[in-house]
Amino acid sequence: MANQSDSVVVSVGFRLAPEHPYPVPVLDCLTATIHFLKNAEEYGVDPNCIAIVGDSSGGTFATAICQELVTREDLPRLRAQVLIYPFLQSGDFDLPSYQQNQSIPLLYRKRAIKLGLTHLTGKEINVDPVIKGAHIPPDYREKYKKWISVDNIPEEFKARGYVPSAPVPFSKELYEQVKRAGETKFAPLLAEDDIIRQLPETFLLTCEYDILRDDGLLYKKRLEDNGVLVTHHHLPDGFHATISFFDLWPLEFPSSRKCMEHVVQFLKSLYK
Protein backbone atom coordinates (compact mmCIF):
# COMPACT_ATOMS: atom_id res chain seq x y z
CA MET A 1 0.00 0.00 0.00
CA ALA A 2 2.82 2.39 0.91
CA ASN A 3 4.91 1.51 -2.15
CA GLN A 4 2.17 1.55 -4.75
CA SER A 5 0.38 4.70 -3.56
CA ASP A 6 3.58 6.61 -2.67
CA SER A 7 2.17 7.23 0.80
CA VAL A 8 3.53 7.33 4.31
CA VAL A 9 1.72 4.56 6.19
CA VAL A 10 1.50 4.75 9.97
CA SER A 11 0.41 1.49 11.61
CA VAL A 12 -0.99 2.11 15.08
CA GLY A 13 -0.44 -0.30 17.94
CA PHE A 14 -3.21 -0.34 20.54
CA ARG A 15 -3.97 -2.18 23.75
CA LEU A 16 -6.16 -5.27 23.40
CA ALA A 17 -9.18 -6.77 25.11
CA PRO A 18 -10.00 -8.56 27.33
CA GLU A 19 -7.26 -6.96 29.47
CA HIS A 20 -8.10 -3.55 27.98
CA PRO A 21 -11.75 -3.63 26.86
CA TYR A 22 -13.69 -0.94 25.00
CA PRO A 23 -13.20 1.96 24.70
CA VAL A 24 -9.45 1.68 25.40
CA PRO A 25 -8.40 0.29 21.98
CA VAL A 26 -10.27 2.90 19.94
CA LEU A 27 -9.12 5.71 22.26
CA ASP A 28 -5.51 4.55 21.79
CA CYS A 29 -6.01 4.85 18.03
CA LEU A 30 -7.62 8.25 18.44
CA THR A 31 -4.71 9.49 20.55
CA ALA A 32 -2.19 8.31 17.94
CA THR A 33 -4.19 9.91 15.13
CA ILE A 34 -4.39 13.28 16.88
CA HIS A 35 -0.65 13.18 17.59
CA PHE A 36 0.12 12.47 13.95
CA LEU A 37 -2.23 15.15 12.67
CA LYS A 38 -0.53 17.71 14.92
CA ASN A 39 2.97 16.60 13.93
CA ALA A 40 2.53 15.40 10.34
CA GLU A 41 5.09 17.80 8.89
CA GLU A 42 7.79 16.27 11.10
CA TYR A 43 7.21 13.05 9.16
CA GLY A 44 7.32 14.80 5.79
CA VAL A 45 3.55 14.56 5.39
CA ASP A 46 1.18 17.27 4.19
CA PRO A 47 -1.31 17.60 7.10
CA ASN A 48 -4.09 18.29 4.59
CA CYS A 49 -3.53 14.98 2.79
CA ILE A 50 -4.15 12.39 5.50
CA ALA A 51 -6.55 9.48 5.17
CA ILE A 52 -7.63 7.11 7.95
CA VAL A 53 -7.59 3.47 6.82
CA GLY A 54 -8.83 0.34 8.56
CA ASP A 55 -10.14 -3.15 7.84
CA SER A 56 -12.57 -5.22 9.91
CA SER A 57 -12.46 -3.96 13.53
CA GLY A 58 -9.81 -1.51 12.32
CA GLY A 59 -12.48 -0.23 9.97
CA THR A 60 -14.70 0.29 13.00
CA PHE A 61 -11.96 2.29 14.69
CA ALA A 62 -11.28 4.31 11.52
CA THR A 63 -14.99 5.14 11.19
CA ALA A 64 -15.31 6.14 14.84
CA ILE A 65 -12.17 8.29 14.74
CA CYS A 66 -13.35 10.16 11.66
CA GLN A 67 -16.63 10.89 13.40
CA GLU A 68 -14.86 12.04 16.56
CA LEU A 69 -12.65 14.47 14.62
CA VAL A 70 -15.27 16.29 12.55
CA THR A 71 -15.86 18.77 15.37
CA ARG A 72 -12.16 19.40 16.08
CA GLU A 73 -11.38 22.82 14.66
CA ASP A 74 -7.85 22.75 16.11
CA LEU A 75 -6.76 19.90 13.79
CA PRO A 76 -6.29 19.56 10.02
CA ARG A 77 -9.36 18.14 8.30
CA LEU A 78 -8.98 14.54 7.20
CA ARG A 79 -8.77 14.10 3.44
CA ALA A 80 -10.58 10.73 3.37
CA GLN A 81 -11.59 7.60 5.21
CA VAL A 82 -10.90 4.14 3.78
CA LEU A 83 -13.15 1.46 5.27
CA ILE A 84 -12.52 -2.16 4.33
CA TYR A 85 -15.36 -4.51 5.40
CA PRO A 86 -15.91 -2.68 8.71
CA PHE A 87 -18.13 -3.70 11.64
CA LEU A 88 -20.52 -0.77 12.15
CA GLN A 89 -23.66 -1.72 14.09
CA SER A 90 -24.84 -3.85 17.00
CA GLY A 91 -28.59 -3.58 16.50
CA ASP A 92 -29.30 -6.45 14.10
CA PHE A 93 -27.17 -9.57 13.79
CA ASP A 94 -29.81 -11.23 11.60
CA LEU A 95 -29.51 -9.08 8.46
CA PRO A 96 -29.27 -10.98 5.15
CA SER A 97 -25.46 -11.07 5.18
CA TYR A 98 -25.43 -12.43 8.74
CA GLN A 99 -27.84 -15.20 7.74
CA GLN A 100 -26.24 -16.03 4.40
CA ASN A 101 -22.63 -16.09 5.65
CA GLN A 102 -22.98 -17.26 9.23
CA SER A 103 -20.92 -20.42 8.58
CA ILE A 104 -18.44 -19.06 6.03
CA PRO A 105 -14.77 -18.66 7.05
CA LEU A 106 -13.01 -16.66 8.29
CA LEU A 107 -15.58 -14.76 10.33
CA TYR A 108 -18.36 -17.04 11.55
CA ARG A 109 -21.33 -15.20 13.01
CA LYS A 110 -21.14 -16.69 16.50
CA ARG A 111 -17.38 -16.20 16.67
CA ALA A 112 -17.60 -12.60 15.48
CA ILE A 113 -20.21 -11.65 18.06
CA LYS A 114 -18.33 -13.49 20.81
CA LEU A 115 -15.17 -11.54 19.96
CA GLY A 116 -17.12 -8.30 19.78
CA LEU A 117 -18.68 -8.82 23.19
CA THR A 118 -15.29 -9.72 24.69
CA HIS A 119 -13.90 -6.49 23.24
CA LEU A 120 -16.88 -4.60 24.66
CA THR A 121 -17.02 -6.06 28.17
CA GLY A 122 -13.81 -7.98 28.80
CA LYS A 123 -15.99 -10.99 29.64
CA GLU A 124 -17.51 -14.00 27.94
CA ILE A 125 -21.24 -13.59 27.30
CA ASN A 126 -23.75 -16.04 25.82
CA VAL A 127 -24.14 -14.89 22.23
CA ASP A 128 -27.35 -16.74 21.32
CA PRO A 129 -29.82 -14.22 22.78
CA VAL A 130 -27.73 -11.38 21.34
CA ILE A 131 -28.01 -12.88 17.85
CA LYS A 132 -31.78 -12.95 18.36
CA GLY A 133 -31.81 -9.30 19.47
CA ALA A 134 -32.79 -9.75 23.11
CA HIS A 135 -30.34 -7.01 24.09
CA ILE A 136 -32.21 -4.29 22.16
CA PRO A 137 -34.76 -2.17 24.08
CA PRO A 138 -37.99 -1.58 22.11
CA ASP A 139 -37.45 2.19 22.02
CA TYR A 140 -33.90 1.70 20.72
CA ARG A 141 -35.19 -0.60 17.98
CA GLU A 142 -37.81 1.95 17.01
CA LYS A 143 -35.37 4.89 17.01
CA TYR A 144 -32.78 3.28 14.79
CA LYS A 145 -34.93 1.26 12.38
CA LYS A 146 -34.59 4.09 9.84
CA TRP A 147 -30.86 3.28 9.64
CA ILE A 148 -30.67 -0.43 10.52
CA SER A 149 -33.28 -1.99 8.29
CA VAL A 150 -33.32 -4.70 5.68
CA ASP A 151 -35.39 -2.28 3.59
CA ASN A 152 -32.24 -0.20 3.10
CA ILE A 153 -30.34 -3.11 1.56
CA PRO A 154 -30.61 -3.51 -2.24
CA GLU A 155 -32.67 -6.51 -3.34
CA GLU A 156 -29.76 -8.15 -5.19
CA PHE A 157 -28.08 -8.82 -1.86
CA LYS A 158 -31.05 -10.85 -0.63
CA ALA A 159 -30.94 -13.23 -3.59
CA ARG A 160 -29.00 -15.94 -1.75
CA GLY A 161 -31.78 -16.11 0.82
CA TYR A 162 -33.20 -14.15 3.69
CA VAL A 163 -35.89 -15.11 6.21
CA PRO A 164 -37.15 -12.25 8.41
CA SER A 165 -37.44 -13.15 12.06
CA ALA A 166 -39.71 -11.63 14.69
CA PRO A 167 -38.09 -9.78 17.61
CA VAL A 168 -37.64 -11.85 20.75
CA PRO A 169 -38.58 -10.54 24.23
CA PHE A 170 -36.28 -7.86 25.58
CA SER A 171 -33.89 -8.90 28.37
CA LYS A 172 -33.06 -6.01 30.70
CA GLU A 173 -30.36 -8.10 32.36
CA LEU A 174 -28.61 -8.73 29.03
CA TYR A 175 -28.99 -5.09 28.03
CA GLU A 176 -27.26 -3.96 31.24
CA GLN A 177 -24.31 -6.18 30.36
CA VAL A 178 -23.87 -4.88 26.81
CA LYS A 179 -25.57 -1.47 26.77
CA ARG A 180 -22.40 0.35 25.68
CA ALA A 181 -22.76 -1.46 22.36
CA GLY A 182 -25.09 1.38 21.40
CA GLU A 183 -22.34 4.00 21.66
CA THR A 184 -21.07 5.39 18.38
CA LYS A 185 -17.43 4.56 19.14
CA PHE A 186 -18.55 0.91 19.13
CA ALA A 187 -21.35 1.12 16.52
CA PRO A 188 -20.56 4.13 14.28
CA LEU A 189 -23.60 3.54 12.06
CA LEU A 190 -25.67 5.10 14.86
CA ALA A 191 -24.07 8.54 14.62
CA GLU A 192 -26.49 11.41 14.08
CA ASP A 193 -26.90 13.04 10.68
CA ASP A 194 -25.15 16.25 11.73
CA ILE A 195 -21.98 14.20 12.27
CA ILE A 196 -22.36 12.01 9.18
CA ARG A 197 -22.76 14.94 6.80
CA GLN A 198 -19.42 16.41 7.91
CA LEU A 199 -17.39 13.30 7.12
CA PRO A 200 -14.68 13.32 4.44
CA GLU A 201 -14.71 11.57 1.09
CA THR A 202 -15.08 7.85 1.70
CA PHE A 203 -13.82 4.61 0.19
CA LEU A 204 -15.91 1.61 1.23
CA LEU A 205 -15.25 -2.00 0.29
CA THR A 206 -17.65 -4.88 0.91
CA CYS A 207 -17.35 -8.60 0.22
CA GLU A 208 -20.19 -10.90 -0.79
CA TYR A 209 -19.17 -13.76 1.50
CA ASP A 210 -18.87 -11.72 4.69
CA ILE A 211 -21.31 -11.33 7.57
CA LEU A 212 -20.36 -7.62 7.70
CA ARG A 213 -21.35 -6.94 4.10
CA ASP A 214 -24.67 -5.34 5.04
CA ASP A 215 -23.07 -3.12 7.70
CA GLY A 216 -21.12 -1.55 4.84
CA LEU A 217 -24.13 -1.27 2.57
CA LEU A 218 -26.18 0.44 5.28
CA TYR A 219 -23.38 2.92 5.98
CA LYS A 220 -22.96 3.64 2.28
CA LYS A 221 -26.62 4.66 2.13
CA ARG A 222 -26.27 6.86 5.21
CA LEU A 223 -23.23 8.62 3.80
CA GLU A 224 -24.81 9.20 0.40
CA ASP A 225 -28.09 10.35 1.95
CA ASN A 226 -26.06 13.01 3.77
CA GLY A 227 -24.15 14.20 0.71
CA VAL A 228 -20.81 12.48 1.39
CA LEU A 229 -18.90 11.37 -1.72
CA VAL A 230 -18.54 7.57 -1.62
CA THR A 231 -16.43 5.25 -3.76
CA HIS A 232 -17.85 1.76 -3.21
CA HIS A 233 -16.35 -1.48 -4.44
CA HIS A 234 -18.11 -4.79 -3.89
CA LEU A 235 -16.14 -7.99 -4.42
CA PRO A 236 -18.55 -10.74 -5.60
CA ASP A 237 -15.92 -13.39 -4.82
CA GLY A 238 -14.59 -11.67 -1.70
CA PHE A 239 -14.66 -12.88 1.90
CA HIS A 240 -13.82 -11.32 5.25
CA ALA A 241 -10.08 -10.68 5.76
CA THR A 242 -9.26 -11.22 2.09
CA ILE A 243 -6.77 -8.33 2.02
CA SER A 244 -4.71 -10.15 4.67
CA PHE A 245 -3.81 -12.73 2.04
CA PHE A 246 -2.42 -10.16 -0.41
CA ASP A 247 1.00 -11.25 -1.73
CA LEU A 248 0.93 -14.25 0.60
CA TRP A 249 1.70 -16.83 -2.06
CA PRO A 250 0.41 -19.53 -2.46
CA LEU A 251 -2.54 -18.43 -0.29
CA GLU A 252 -3.37 -15.23 -2.16
CA PHE A 253 -6.88 -15.13 -3.62
CA PRO A 254 -7.96 -13.10 -6.67
CA SER A 255 -10.11 -10.96 -4.35
CA SER A 256 -7.06 -10.24 -2.17
CA ARG A 257 -5.27 -8.55 -5.03
CA LYS A 258 -8.42 -6.77 -6.23
CA CYS A 259 -8.98 -5.39 -2.75
CA MET A 260 -5.46 -3.97 -2.50
CA GLU A 261 -5.61 -2.58 -6.04
CA HIS A 262 -8.87 -0.76 -5.32
CA VAL A 263 -7.44 0.79 -2.13
CA VAL A 264 -4.23 1.89 -3.84
CA GLN A 265 -6.11 3.35 -6.80
CA PHE A 266 -8.32 5.36 -4.47
CA LEU A 267 -5.39 6.68 -2.42
CA LYS A 268 -3.54 7.72 -5.58
CA SER A 269 -6.65 9.54 -6.82
CA LEU A 270 -6.72 11.71 -3.70
CA TYR A 271 -3.37 13.30 -4.21
CA LYS A 272 -3.24 14.06 -7.92
Give DSSP secondary structure letters for the chain. Answer: -HHHHT----PPP---TTTS-TTHHHHHHHHHHHHHHHHGGGGT--TTS-EEEEETHHHHHHHHHHHHHTT-TTSPPP-EEEEES----SS-TTSHHHHHTTT-SS--HHHHHHHHHHHHHSS----HHHHTTTTS-HHHHHHHTTTS-GGGS-GGGGTT-----PPPPP-HHHHHHHGGGGSTTT-GGG--HHHHTTPPEEEEEEEEE-TTHHHHHHHHHHHHHTT--EEEEEEEEEETTGGGGTT-TTS--HHHHHHHHHHHHHHHHHT-
pLDDT tens across the length of the chain (272 residues): 999 999 999 999 999 999 999 999 999 999 999 999 999 999 999 999 999 999 999 999 999 999 999 999 999 999 999 999 999 999 999 999 999 999 999 999 999 999 999 999 999 999 999 999 999 999 999 999 999 999 999 999 999 999 999 889 999 999 999 999 999 999 999 999 999 999 999 999 999 999 999 999 999 999 999 999 999 999 999 999 999 999 999 999 999 999 999 999 999 999 87
Query: Which residue in the list 135, 233, 240, 262 is annotated as catalytic?
Result: 240
Confirm whether pTM is higher than 0.95: yes
Query: Which residue in the list 7, 56, 90, 97 is annotated as catalytic?
Result: 56
Query: Which residue in the list 92, 210, 214, 215 is annotated as catalytic?
Result: 210
Residue 210 designated active-site: yes
Residue 7 designated active-site: no
Residue 35 designated active-site: no
